[in-house]
Amino acid sequence: MPSKPFVLSWKNYLTLCKPNVVAEMLFTAVVGMLLAVPGMPPLGLLIYATVGIALAASSAAAINHFIDRKADAQMARTEKRPLPTGELNATNVITFAVVLGVSSMLILVLLVNTLTAVLTFLSLFGYAIIYTLYLKRATPQNIVIGGIFGATPPLLGWCAMTGEVHPFGLLLALIIFVWTPPHFWALAIARREEYAKVNIPMLPVTHGVEFTRLQILLYTILLLIVTLLPYLTGMSGLIYLGSTVLLDLGFIYYAVLMMRNKDNKTAMKTFVYSIVYITLLFAALLIDHYLRFTL
């Protein structure tokens, strides 16, 4: 049986990786890989690309923990993280992040392709440094601008299989880019007091909750338009179209509900729905792709 300190340490390092967030990113990356080819991609290439992207995302998450450690200690949502509790120190975290990052680049360069490695590194650097270190505290549009870096997983997946930046891969990234603000702002509304406490200028803190609710509604309408593009460009078919229209109407419903109810509970329900939304939307892309290919 492993010792308790070993188990605790293992769990702490896993927490640094933000496994729930990384799992969602990996799902969209794998969908990008599968959509890039008419049948099944080479299994080895798919595994190497998935591991490489996962390690890079985990490295970025660990750096995020390091940079935000003081703010995390003051927020109820994050005060139990390993750095604020003292279960890991800054040296542990940075060393872990570097090992993950270097391992990621080696796997992607040697076993996938250089383009994927370069784009993955730019995404890692953009999220961990440009967003977390600068944008997050510089502007209430932090999540919009920083969303560029968080939107790349499906594009990385596509590049991993094809070695090129394809318009369809960019379209997948665009969907996540437009989805990110209403997804995160719903959470920011519910947690606005905590963000204000640590002087992070999230939109509901700087411009008020009413303005943020309006922005969420406008972005969900924009998202409806953007998510029609895979069908309109011939990338996907009717299965995807029917699924995305229903999902988008659901998101708009929650955005309207937020305008009416004006409570944190509705904001959190919208946040949860947004996660279900992006998961089902990418699942619909995948189902449509393989049913069309089979038929």
pLDDT in tens, 141-176: 999 988 899 999 999 999 999 999 999 999 999 999
Q: Identify the pLDDT of residue 213.
A: 97
Confidence of residue 75 (pLDDT cuts 50, 70, 90): confident
Locate tokens 């007091």: which residue?
193
What are 205-217's pLDDT values in tens digits?
A: 999 999 999 999 9
Of 32-46, 82-96, 105-119, 157-171, minimum mean pLDDT range: 82-96
Q: How high is the pLDDT of residue 288?
A: 95
Give the torsion through C-alpha atoms of 112, 115, 116, 119, to 10 deg.
160
* Confidence check: pLDDT of 135 > 90: no
Summarised one tens digit per residue, pLDDT across range 7-46 is: 458 888 999 999 999 999 999 999 999 999 988 999 999 9
Mean pLDDT of the chain: 92
Residue 174: both structure tokens together: 């665009």
Query: Could you tell me the pTM of the whole model?
Result: 0.92
Query: Looking at residue 46, what is its pLDDT?
Result: 97
Q: State the Cα–Cα distance between residues 268 and 190, nearest whole angstrom.
A: 6
Q: What is the pLDDT of residues 242-260, one digit of tens each?
A: 999 999 999 999 999 999 9
What distance in Å separates the CA atoms of residue 125 and residue 208, rounded to the nearest whole number?
A: 30
So what's the pLDDT on residue 6?
40
Token reading at 63: 């750096």
Q: What is the pLDDT, as a whole number, of residue 293?
A: 52
pLDDT of residue 100: 97
- Tell me what pLDDT residue 295 has: 44
Cβ neighbours around 25 below 10 Å, total: 27
For position 70, what pLDDT does the model report? 87
Q: Rounded to an integer, what distance in angstroms lies between the CA atom of residue 160 and that of residue 114?
A: 9
